[in-house]
Every structure is written in C-alpha cells, then in structure tokens.
Copies of this chain bind each other. A is one copy, B any other.
Amino acid sequence: MSKGELTRQTIVDAATRVASRVGLGGLTIGSLAADTGLSKSGLFAHFNSKESLQLQVLDHASARFVDLVVRPALKAPRGEPRVRELFDHWFAWCRDELSAGCLFVAAATELDDQPGPVRDQLAKVQRDWLETIATVFATGISEGQFRADADPEQFAQDLYGVMLAYHHASRLLDDPRAEQRARRALDRLLEAARVPS
C-alpha cells in the first residue's frame, strides 16, 4: 500500500467515526477538517467533494460490516445457528461505536428523501443486507430445519424490524429490557419457521 493510500485510509476511518456521530449527510470536508485537525485543502486533494467523501465512508463502513457481521456468521453451521450468529454479530456491531455503530440505521432515515448517488449507494448496501438475511435464512429451508413454504424475504424484513425496534428502544428510550425483547422476538420468528417435530 502506498503512503498516499495509507493516509487516505486513515482519513476515511476517522471520517466514518465522525459520520457515525453527526450522520452521513452531516459529514462535510469542513466538519472533517475541524474534527481531525487536517487542512481543508489537504482533504480536498483526497476527496474532491463532499459527495465523494460520503461515498467513500459508505464503502468503508460496508466493508467493515461484511468483515465484522456477515463473514463470521457464514462460518457457523447452516440454518438456525447461522441466523443466530448473524443476529449476535449485528448486536455487537451496533454497540461498538468505533466501528461506526449504527451508521446505516441513522443514514437510512436521514437520506431516504434526498435523491442522489449517496442515497442510491446506501439503498444498494441495504438491499444487499436484507438479501444476506434472506439467504442465510434460506439455508435453513434447504437443510430441512425450516418449513419449505417459509418466505425468506418476509423473514428478512421481520428480522430487520426486530433490530430496528431494538435500536430505537435502547438508544432513544434507554430501555434496559430492549435486548431481552429483541431476543424473544427472534426466538418466536424462528419457532414459527421451524418444521414441526
């Protein structure tokens, strides 16, 4: 890796932390300069525009998400154990502020009515995420653990709802039982999907 590339990656890392606090839409070259102490002209040399900065942060966060949430889950046995690993790793990701925390949750409501390349890229990343959930769930159908008529896309939307409601109840409402309820909700979704023994 060249020195220039290393510097760029260090800056994108810092920018991701800033974005997880101020929102992806609130991330500008000016706010990043203020936060890191780097010069605006130096940052412009790396990113050219606010949009390019936001897109690079989104790519960086997505790559980390795959490394920290998706890839470890795929090592678990197919079906229910893999669904549970995915869920647990999402929780850990969401709690770890340094790895951008729930940058995607905040960006989704921030950018949903702001047309443009950043919104398009975010929608793509989030479609990939829902498809990942659906695909992981579907391994449980082919393994014969879940009903053949279970709908993986329904499960994906349902499970992401469990996650979003947890995020809301724990982060905004400081509800200490939010996680326990989210885990019970997952148990019930899996119960409903299981082939009756």
Contact = CB atoms under 8 A, between A and B. Distances in A.
Given A153-B177, A184-B154, A165 B164 contact: yes
A172 B108 contact: yes
Contact of A171 (B102, B112, B167): B112
A162 B158 contact: yes
Interface of A: 21, 23, 102, 105-106, 108-113, 119, 122-123, 126-127, 130, 153-154, 157-158, 160-169, 171-174, 177-178, 181-182, 184-185, 188, 192
Contacts of A188: 192
Contacts of A173: 123, 126-127, 130
A161 B110 CA distance: 18
A61 B160 CA distance: 27
28 contacts: A21-B113, A23-B110, A106-B110, A108-B168, A108-B172, A109-B167, A112-B171, A119-B172, A123-B173, A123-B174, A126-B168, A126-B173, A130-B169, A130-B173, A157-B166, A157-B169, A157-B178, A157-B181, A158-B185, A160-B165, A161-B161, A161-B163, A161-B164, A161-B165, A161-B166, A164-B165, A164-B168, A192-B192
